[in-house]
Amino acid sequence: MSDPKRILLLGLAAALPLFVGCSVLKKEPQAPLTAQTEQSFRDRWIETRGAELVAKGSAPSEAQRQAMEEFRNRYGYTNAAKE
């Protein structure tokens, strides 16, 4: 193999990751949770926690209120907790 061919081959091999979209060069930020996902999580968490409190003897309305308050305290950084 002559020198110009070798240089061309090495140049193409070095440039290949740029053309195929190498993931090392393109880091995409992680997407935040969507409002719908947060709301779904909130609803399921409050339902589960409310059921636990009712099983321990709380009235259903009191259990619901307490579960919502606990969710706000624990997950206050979410948009779902601010609603």
Q: Where are the domains of the chain?
A: 33-83
Do 18 and 25 meet the contact criterion of CB atoms below 8 Å apart?
yes
75 by DSSP, 3-state: which?
coil
10 by DSSP, 3-state: which?
helix
Interval 42-82: pLDDT, tens? 999 999 999 999 999 999 999 999 999 999 999 998 888 88
Please tell me the pTM assigned to this model: 0.58
Q: What tokens does 58 get?
A: 């709380």
Question: Residue 17 has what pLDDT?
Answer: 65
